[in-house]
Amino acid sequence: MKLGKVEFCHFLQILALFLCLSGMNQAELSRSRSKPYFQSGRTRTKRSWVWNQFFVLEEYMGTDPLYVGKLHSDVDKGDGSIKYILSGEGASSIFIIDENTGDIHATKRLDREEQAYYTLRAQALDRLTNKPVEPESEFVIKIQDINDNEPKFLDGPYTAGVPEMSPVGTSVVQVTATDADDPTYGNSARVVYSILQGQPYFSVEPKTGVIKTALPNMDREAKDQYLLVIQAKDMVGQNGGLSGTTSVTVTLTDVNDNPPRFPRRSYQYNVPESLPVASVVARIKAADADMGPNAEMEYKIVDGDGLGVFKISVDKDTQEGIITIQKELDFEAKTSYTLRIEAANMHVDPRFLSLGPFSDMTTVKIIVEDVDEPPVFTSRLYSMVVSEAAKVGTIIGTVAAHDPDASNSPVRYSIDRNTDLERYFNIDANSGVITTAKSLDRETNAIHNITVLAMESQNPAQVGRGYVAITILDINDNAPEFAMEYETTVCENAQPGQVIQKISAVDKDDPPNGHQFYFSLTAEAANNHNFTLQDNKDNTATVLTRRNGFRRQEQSVFYLPIFIVDSGSPSLSSTNTLTIRVCDCDADGIAQTCNAEAYILPAGLSTGALIAILACVLTLLVLVLLIVTMRRRKKEPLIFDEERDIRENIVRYDDEGGGEEDTEAFDMAALRNLNIIRDTKTRRDVTPEIQFLSRPTFKSIPDNVIFREFIWERLKEADVDPCAPPYDSLQTYAFEGNGSVAESLSSLDSISSNSDQNYDYLSDWGPRFKRLADMYGTGPECLYS
């Protein structure tokens, strides 16, 4: 009859408990048989008890305290005079002792994995005197292990990788399970490994836990990941042993076992001939089932007629071959190109060369499409020269452009005026001849860079650009002049032949051999007795004194005209005046003051007096300005001159109504209902004491009556009209009615109207209304007539 797992565990516990009790009883027996003996003098007394280890089975599940063992001393005669006490680890809390019999019991369930043994001390005391009858002794209670802990994978779950196509037996990873039971006692901690999930691809070593491949040629491209379940079982894997499991995720890593292959044997792409250089023409890709470095490829053009026109490179991210243009395409020159392109793996594994070559070929045909291109100049840059003395209309050079298309459309030329803002040049629209349009000056602009536009006659949107650099050749058209404004001084105590100034000249022209200037005094100044000029022959000249005894009181400033001639052909000259001031100098010849006015001021007039005079003059000027301003600001009379025509004056009133909310400025009822009787209202612009007759009031006739009568009259006229058509026709009339109930917006009627308004009151309003009174008055008795 076979025992189950639970029954077997209970059997082992009972057996271990039996053996423990038997051992303790034997120990007790041996202790009770040992007789103490006494030795007088310096003799050693034999101990009355000898302690051995006590063993207690862990995980006791009974309701009564577990009996551990018994303490007994030979001194104990069984009359109750001896009592036993217990101290140390777990005394009283876990272990208790019967002080009369010495029986030790465990009151709590013990776990060896928490504490494997307890060290205690026991002593026998005289009950009456409470003195020890024997020395204290130490003993150990050891917890005996049972199989109550299953193996555990402390590092699980596991992940591991193994290269695809690995041979059988390739190690993948090692798993380790630990058992908390006592490895020195029985088989409770002896673990064996087995695989529950993952066959037939992997296996595990029972004793070491090493997982290995069990099948050859596992292909990552078919399946790249496997989930394994590993079991660890104690009791050497026997029935009744405890077990634990863990999962292991095994990933097949990639190897280069797949060569690249193009999906198609040939490709065709159309590109316009206007596509710029370095543009992408096409992207092709060879398929490779591998990944990472094993899928890296390189592309190259191995054959074809476009080797120098196109190139191919690889996109590192997508592993695509990118075909780009190296040279400009021209449909008129070549309409198609054929390329043979090879794709090959960069990292080849020699183990898999038997699978075939790790490269592939394909054909790419590129069709060039014709586009309408702009005209092309025969040269990208034209260099021309022209003299700055050239007359307007002088031909400088010619540019030429043609339409590269098969249609060869005629070309018209023009100058981009953004590059010739001053319009110095013109170009013939048909021939491309460039001529001068203005006089040129090299000193203003030595080089003109202009852009010439060439447009197709049939399609002006197609514009080509050519660049022309026009260099202006120099002529001698600028006379030399002083290099700077000289401030020359001569001391009053200067000696004859003393150098007072060194001068030089500049010329805006740029002769090819450099400048050469000649200096001399003009004919008028050549015989002066004050200064002379010496030409240094190095484009400089020196001014020297001819006499001494210069005095500021006599003459404070001298003007010396100097004649300068250049070496151009023809040569140009100019006369430049050098201003020389006479100054008072110190002993070192440094000018101190050059003011000659200090010597010519009146003796009795000081600087303070001059300031006072100036202040008085300014005060008088301010007063005069104030008087003139006050007179101009006097008010003009309110009454106009009689001869002034009031029709020439426009009076502006910036007075606006108050809007819809303003009911004071006008009668709202009159606006809402026009068919009302108007009352006589006085003018607001007439003073209260002046009264005049207003228009008589009238009651307006309803508009519908007026218009009905008008239409009835027109209808009768049409009925008797012999020229009217015999069929019904539409008659249109423009009729505004007899008048407006709002009357005229003007307070004045035309003199030719039949108005009965009396305007005699205008004569009472003064000279301003004299002209109106003359125009609208009724009698000659009006004032100011």
Q: Is pLDDT of 605 > 50?
A: yes
For residues 581 and 578, give the distance between their C-alpha atoms in angstroms, rounded to a whole number.
Answer: 10
Same fold, 53-144 and 266-369: yes
5-14, 43-52, 564-573: least confident range: 43-52
For residues 474 and 389, give the distance between their C-alpha atoms in angstroms, rounded to a whole number.
Answer: 8
Using an 8 Å Cβ cutoff, are 143 and 114 in contact?
no
- For residue 137, what is the enclosing H or E element? strand 137-144
Most confident of the following: 545-549, 673-677, 781-785: 545-549
In the prediction, which pLDDT does 433 show? 95
For residues 405 and 372, give the distance between their C-alpha atoms in angstroms, rounded to a whole number.
Answer: 6
In the prediction, which pLDDT does 114 show? 81
For residues 297 and 288, give the distance between their C-alpha atoms in angstroms, rounded to a whole number.
Answer: 9
- pTM score above 0.75: no
Using an 8 Å Cβ cutoff, are 361 and 259 in contact?
no
Q: Which of 115, 123, 73, 66 lies closest to 95 in space, CA to CA?
A: 66
For residues 385 and 434, give the distance between their C-alpha atoms in angstroms, rounded to a whole number.
Answer: 11
In the prediction, which pLDDT does 215 show? 92
Strands (E) across 586-686 are located at 591-593
Higher pLDDT, 754 or 123: 123
Q: How many CB atoms lie within 10 A of CB 193?
A: 22
Most confident of the following: 350-354, 675-679, 703-707: 350-354
Token pair recorded at residue 706: 């007026």
Burial 759-777 (b: 16+ CB within 10 A, else e): bbbbbeeebebbbbbeebb
For residues 417 and 339, give the distance between their C-alpha atoms in angstroms, rounded to a whole number.
Answer: 46
Share of the chain above pLDDT 70, in %: 78
Q: Is pLDDT of 760 > 80?
A: no
Using an 8 Å Cβ cutoff, are 437 and 424 in contact?
yes
Higher pLDDT, 4 or 428: 428
Q: Torsion angle of alpha carbons 225, 226, 227, 230, nearest 10°?
A: -140
| Strand-pair category, 433-436 with 425-427 | antiparallel
Using an 8 Å Cβ cutoff, are 510 and 442 in contact?
yes
Q: Per-residue confidence at 545, pLDDT binned at 50, 70, 90?
A: very high
- For residue 519, what is the enclosing H or E element? strand 518-521
Token pair recorded at residue 259: 């060569």
Token pair recorded at residue 255: 């190897």
Residue whose tokens read 């001849």: 433
For residues 162 and 217, give the distance between their C-alpha atoms in angstroms, rounded to a whole number.
Answer: 12
Q: Which of 549, 550, 554 lies closest to 599 in space, CA to CA?
A: 554
In three-state secondary structure terms, 565 is strand
Using an 8 Å Cβ cutoff, are 179 and 150 in contact?
yes
**CATH of region 266-369, choose from 3.40.50.2000, 3.30.310.50, 1.10.260.40, 2.60.40.60:** 2.60.40.60
Q: What is the per-residue pLDDT across 607-621, written as a single tens digit (0 to 9) for each? A: 777 888 999 999 999
Q: Which of 122, 131, 134 lies closest to 46 in space, CA to CA?
A: 134
Q: Torsion angle of alpha carbons 321, 326, 328, 334, nearest 10°?
A: -70
Token pair recorded at residue 412: 């018209």
Q: What is the per-residue pLDDT across 240-272, written as a single tens digit (0 to 9) for each? A: 788 899 999 999 999 988 899 999 999 999 999
For residues 452 and 579, give the distance between their C-alpha atoms in angstroms, rounded to a whole number.
Answer: 52
Using an 8 Å Cβ cutoff, are 368 and 336 in contact?
yes
Q: Per-residue confidence at 375, pLDDT binned at 50, 70, 90?
A: very high
Q: Is pLDDT of 597 > 70?
A: no
Cis peptide before 480 (omega within 30 of 0): no
Burial 297-311 (b: 16+ CB within 10 A, else e): bbbebeebebeebbb
In the prediction, which pLDDT does 12 show? 57
In the prediction, which pLDDT does 52 show? 55
Domain extent listing, the chain: 53-144, 152-253, 266-369, 376-473, 481-593
For residues 606 and 611, give the distance between their C-alpha atoms in angstroms, rounded to a whole number.
Answer: 9
Q: Which of 60, 72, 81, 11 lies closest to 36 in space, CA to CA?
A: 72
Report which DSSP code applies to 235: G
For residues 48 and 41, give the distance between their C-alpha atoms in angstroms, rounded to a whole number.
Answer: 19
Using an 8 Å Cβ cutoff, are 405 and 373 in contact?
yes
Q: What is the per-residue pLDDT across 219-247, written as a single tens digit (0 to 9) for each? A: 998 999 999 999 998 888 888 788 899 99
Q: Is pLDDT of 32 > 70?
A: no
CATH superfamily of 53-144: Cadherins (2.60.40.60)
Q: How many CA atoms lie within 13 A of 750 on its CB side?
A: 3
CA distances from 650 to 640, 655, 745 (A): 14, 15, 18
Write the secondary structure of 260-277 as one string of H (helix), E (strand) and C (coil): CECCCCEEEEEEECCCCC
Strand partners, 163: 253
Q: Is pLDDT of 187 > 90?
A: no
Q: How many CB atoms lie within 10 A of CB 273?
A: 19
Q: How many CB atoms lie within 10 A of CB 39?
A: 9
| Strand-pair category, 463-473 with 447-456 | antiparallel
- Residue 149 CA to its chain's centroid (Å): 64
- CATH architecture classification, 481-593: Sandwich (2.60)
Fold category of 152-253 in CATH: Immunoglobulin-like (2.60.40)
Q: Which of 322, 348, 324, 405 lies closest to 371 in space, CA to CA?
A: 405
Strand partners, 104: 69, 97
For residues 391 and 394, give the distance between their C-alpha atoms in angstroms, rounded to a whole number.
Answer: 6
Q: Give the Cα-Cα-Cα angle 64, 69, 70 (nearest 5 degrees).
A: 115
Fold category of 376-473 in CATH: Immunoglobulin-like (2.60.40)
For residues 60 and 107, give the distance between their C-alpha atoms in angstroms, rounded to a whole number.
Answer: 10
Q: Is pLDDT of 637 > 70?
A: no
DSSP per-residue codes, 490-504: EETTPPTT-EEEEEE
Q: Is pLDDT of 436 > 90?
A: yes
Most confident of the following: 309-313, 506-510, 757-761: 309-313
Q: What is the per-residue pLDDT across 7-29, written as a single tens digit (0 to 9) for each? A: 454 555 556 555 544 444 433 43
Higher pLDDT, 292 or 55: 292
For residues 4 and 12, give the distance between their C-alpha atoms in angstroms, rounded to a whole number.
Answer: 12
For residues 269 and 8, give the distance between their C-alpha atoms in angstroms, rounded to a whole number.
Answer: 82
* Residue-averaged pLDDT of the chain: 79
DSSP per-residue codes, 338-361: EEEEEEEESS--GGGGGG--SEEE
Q: How far apart are the first and last CA of the chain?
A: 162
Strand partners, 511: none
For residues 549 and 528, give the distance between their C-alpha atoms in angstroms, rounded to a whole number.
Answer: 15
Token pair recorded at residue 232: 């660890």
